[in-house]
Amino acid sequence: MLNIQKIRYGRNKFTFSSDDRYLYFEVDDDMFNANEDEETLQNIQEINGRLVRCTYHFKYLEDFYKDLKTTDDARQTSLAMMYSKHDELTKTIRQDTRKDKGYINYIENFEDIKPEDYYGLLKKYFTQDTLDYIDSRIVFGYLGHSDRTRETDQVICDFLEENPDMINTVNYEFFTSGTGRHYMDNYNGPEDLRKFLENL
């Protein structure tokens, strides 16, 4: 098993800058197993005939040059390539799983998303302003939320079929607004969503 640890060296764990540096290290099973959560331990991908697990950690920038002396360019290139392949395979599996569970968003890479990918089941209810908003490709509100599913779209479809006078309100106050996004941060099931829409 190949265990790869990617380390970001920076000034602060929670902010990124152009001064940040990265190194990759192979770590033994005991060290990897002792320091990682269950999801990371179980995320094993086969790459070039090898089983690979990867993890990511932060260290302060002053440690970079000391750690750099323990590796070489060829090793860094090889480990970085394996880490990148592992990351891509993991992302593809995660996207496929989300798609299978009925999620609308985050089921493909951002650069591959087309405006119609945001339509879900709702296109017939969109105003022109909402369509223009989606065409901008920077989509927030309910429409861009990571927890949006075919189920939540269907609740909205059913609601709008029964309440066509609410189409404009739902477009402006839910589909494309912070209200819709914040509601989905705390989504509590179909009945609750319907009640929320009734009170817009």
Question: Could you state, in order of their start, the residue ranges of all structural domains in the chain?
Answer: 2-100, 112-198
**Matching residue, tokens 């179980």:** 42
The structure tokens listed for 23 are 């190194």
For position 189, what pLDDT does the model report? 96
**91, 97, 101, 102 alpha-carbon torsion, rounded to 10°:** 50
- Side-chain-side CA neighbours of 89 within 13 Å: the count stands at 16
60 beta partners: 10
For position 156, what pLDDT does the model report? 98
Q: Could you list the mean pLDDT of each consecutive 10-residue stretch along the chain, which spans 200 residues?
A: 97 93 97 94 95 97 96 96 96 92 88 92 98 94 96 98 98 97 96 97
Least Cα distance to 107 among 121, 87, 119, 93 occurs for 93
For position 112, what pLDDT does the model report? 86
For position 177, what pLDDT does the model report? 96
Q: How far apart are CA 10 and CA 27, in angstroms?
A: 21
| Parallel, antiparallel or unpaired: strands 21-27 and 2-10 | antiparallel
For position 21, what pLDDT does the model report? 97
Burial group, residue 21, by CB count within 10 angstroms (0-12, 13-18, 19+): middle
